[in-house]
Chains A and B, each alone.
Chain A
Amino acid sequence: MALADFAVSLLTFVAIYGLFALGLNLKFGFTGLIDFGHVAYFMIGGYVTAVLTMPAQVTGYDGLGGYALPELLAVVPGGDVLGWLLGVAGGMVAAALVSLLVGVPTLRLREDYLAITALGIATILNEVVRNETWLFNGPFGIRTVHQPASAAFPLGLGSFILNLVVFGGLSVLVIAYAGYRVGSYVKDVDTTGAALGLASVLVLGGSIGALTQGGPLLFVGVGLAVAGVAVLREAVRRSIEPERTLALVVALAAAAWYFLQPLLAASNPTVTLQTNVMFLFDPVAGPNGGLDYDRFFMLLSLAFLAGGYWWCQRTINSPYGRVLRAVRDDEDVPRALGKETFRYKIQALLFGSALAGAAGSLYTIHLGFISPDQFGAMITFFAFASVIIGGTANNAGVVLGTAVFWAINSGTQFLNDYFPSEYAVKLAAARLIFIGVLLIVILYYRPEGILGEQDYDIRLPGDEPAPSRDDTAAAPGGDADD
């Protein structure tokens, strides 16, 4: 398996769990609701979407539905996708409604009781789904999950060269942009980013050379050398802060692994390298190559994540979000200022659960089947770990935390290759230990998470970006905490 395939799978998971964690962050990070039952809404979203979109009367399925929304709407052009989206919306609404039923009695409890009650309710809901076979087929689950627009894939654009240029070019642009973003994060100077971008382009040259039987190692080596030298020179010259240097080192290590590993290890280096560089382009999909369904689904999930992120940001950067944070910090204060805090808590719970529902829909499609076993309480705590690692009350941090969490959890699977197979089970346990240690280290040394709480800015049309806010935002994160 090329690393690109792993990266695609990882990014899909990060997008799905990122959306899930954004929902949790809205409840826990911004509103202070410790919802240990968050996974219940993930499950409900998944099941409801599956049932709404799957075909009717499937053999081996004895539950409700399916309601085949995509087929019903297929009469209009694009109707099957619309039907699927309606299914997702249905999952979100169902998750929100159940959270309303849970929230009305429990949100009046003190926060620690709320946590425990929520955990109990999530467990009950899971048991109900497991035991009530008429509902969603009990422990056997659903194996006929509708995959949106799957008939159109692999998506080709006619000729091989066109596919190569469009999908391959897009991939390289993404790599270059990622390099640029890392560069500009590490130092707010564009030269480093530009150097990384240039290196990526050279890597593209290398892979094209590889395809045309040139000397790929030379091109890639030159590209990485240029990037490495440029970056390290910048880092030393500008005495970059430790955390940014760490980000740089992580990014470089990931890049080196991604681009060099195929050359060193795989049996067919040029093909593997091409797959890694042009990660969106699959030369053997369809007659002329193209975009396969896994990659499409990754893009779809990332689009959902981006939408959820934007939506959360808009919610938080508003007077509404201000009240949410006030509720989190001391609920009596907004009450004493005339705010109906209960309404805010209920709405945050509904909205956060709806996001979890959307994540559940995507998760179900990605796996292609759904059963109660997938929704143990562990999933909630994975999301809590992601939120705490990345930064509580920081939407970007939560996505970062999810990426770190799943990169460690999935990435360390590669270690299995280097150990005798009888250690596989122990390695799996060691992974969890490692994540636990990471969590303890972060809680001890940086309790606010990698990025800490985010900055807030309510932009009004026609305003300069509020100058006062920029002053605080420009100050290094450490200052505000001391």
Chain B
Amino acid sequence: MTDDPILSVSGLEKTFGGITALDGVDLTVDQGITGLIGPNGAGKTTFFNCITGYLAPDGGTVEFQGDDVTGNRTPSIVREGLVRTFQIPRELENMTVRENLLLAPGGQSGEKLGRAWLRGGQFAEDERRSRREAAEMAAFFELDHLLDEPAGSLSGGQRKLLELARVLLTEPEMVLLDEPLAGVNPTLERKILERIHELESQGQTFLFVEHDIELIMEHCDHVVVMHQGQKLTEGPPSAVRSDQRVIDAYLGEEI
């Protein structure tokens, strides 16, 4: 069972008009932290969008934990346990940090219209559970003193933390991180990475898009390189680093 990959993508294709964004990507992701790198326009974000249901792929299959989720809609994929963060954090600025977090837990009975009207049943119990989970998650990301602030008042780095905290509250099996560290100061960056490692040691799986190659090399167990809509190579960081094709793809830049 542990040998089965969490995410298994084969032959994924996506074209926009005449541009081929994904040209038959095959990829498997195992438990741990996997890095996904590639030059701008390599198709990383399109890849994310296709496996999380934001875009319908033109071909290929996506299997998550053994289930075929190809072309499924985002909410159902999320409920299966595959979630993503956005490259630019998407906080609900008018709502408080607490409310942002409270949106995340799945299966809240109070989110059904009938239950919201009648109350009773699991309503109070579920809401208390959600509040407790939200408070714990906020404490974990050191956001607890900001719970009642509108999310719009957070700094850029705090927004990244909130985004991550919110996504984790859905109790995912696997998280796709789209540049979670872009524009984050070094202290906060270290904090986020610590959190990710901590969660990884608890069995969480991450797929991590990042432009800072050093960072990927240091923190990932496994690295996948994409180029022009295809997988160029993959392997442990040390092998990828010395791969000539990777160096060429990055325009001869030494990495």
Say whether B110 contacts A319, CB under 8 Å: yes
Q: Which one of A319, A339, A340, A468 contacts B116 once the chains associate, using CB atoms below 8 Å?
A: A319
Given A321-B116, A333-B90, A337-B78: A469 touches B110 (CB 8 Å cut-off): no
Chain A residue contacts of B86, Cβ below 8 A: 332, 336
Residue total for A at the interface (Cβ-Cβ under 8 A): 36
Among A361-369, A373-381, A413-421, A453-461, the one that faces the other chain is: A453-461
Chain B residue contacts of A339, Cβ below 8 A: 75, 103, 111
The chain B residue with its CB closest to the CB of A471 is B148
Chain B residue contacts of A458, Cβ below 8 A: 110, 127
CA distance A315 to B111 in the complex (A): 10
CA distance A347 to B84 in the complex (A): 27
Indicate whether B45 reaches chain A with its CB closer than 8 angstroms.
Answer: no
Given A311-B117, A319-B111, A333-B90: A340 touches B103 (CB 8 Å cut-off): no
Chain A residue contacts of B102, Cβ below 8 A: 319, 322
Question: How many A-B contacts are there with CB distance less than 8 Å?
Answer: 102
The smallest beta-carbon distance between A209 and chain B, in angstroms, is 50
Residue total for B at the interface (Cβ-Cβ under 8 A): 43
CA distance A458 to B99 in the complex (A): 11
CA distance A333 to B93 in the complex (A): 11
B119-151 interface (Cβ within 8 A of A)? 119, 123-124, 126-128, 130, 147-148, 150
Given A320-B112, A460-B128: A472 touches B74 (CB 8 Å cut-off): no
Indicate whether A122 reaches chain B with its CB closer than 8 angstroms.
Answer: no
- Return the CB mask of B83-99 against A: 1 if under 8 Å, else 0: 11010001111111011
Indicate whether B108 reaches chain A with its CB closer than 8 angstroms.
Answer: yes
Say whether A315 contacts B170, CB under 8 Å: no
Given A330-B90, A336-B86, A458-B127: A480 touches B150 (CB 8 Å cut-off): yes
Indicate whether A61 reaches chain B with its CB closer than 8 angstroms.
Answer: no
CA distance A340 to B79 in the complex (A): 10
Say whether A334 contacts B103, CB under 8 Å: yes
Indicate whether B69 reaches chain A with its CB closer than 8 angstroms.
Answer: no
Indicate whether B227 reaches chain A with its CB closer than 8 angstroms.
Answer: no
The chain B residue with its CB closest to the CB of A325 is B95
Indicate whether B232 reaches chain A with its CB closer than 8 angstroms.
Answer: no
Chain B residue contacts of A127, Cβ below 8 A: none
The chain A residue with its CB closest to the CB of B90 is A333
Indicate whether B66 reaches chain A with its CB closer than 8 angstroms.
Answer: no
Say whether A314 contacts B98, CB under 8 Å: no
Say whether B74 contacts A320, CB under 8 Å: no
B34-83 interface (Cβ within 8 A of A)? 52, 74-76, 78-79, 83
The chain B residue with its CB closest to the CB of A467 is B148
- Return the CB mask of A307-331 against B: 1 if under 8 Å, else 0: 0000100110011111101100110
CA distance A320 to B119 in the complex (A): 11
Say whether B116 contacts A320, CB under 8 Å: yes
Chain A residue contacts of B78, Cβ below 8 A: 335-338
Say whether A326 contacts B95, CB under 8 Å: yes
Q: Which 3 A/B pairs are nearest by Cβ-Cβ distance?
A: A319-B110, A338-B78, A318-B116
> Which chain B residues have a beta carbon within 8 Å of chain A's beta carbons?
52, 74-76, 78-79, 83-84, 86, 90-96, 98-99, 102-104, 106, 108, 110-113, 115-117, 119, 123-124, 126-128, 130, 147-148, 150, 166-167, 170
A-B contact pairs, 14 of them (CB 8 A): A311-B117, A319-B102, A322-B99, A326-B95, A333-B90, A335-B78, A336-B74, A336-B86, A337-B103, A337-B166, A338-B106, A339-B75, A460-B127, A461-B124
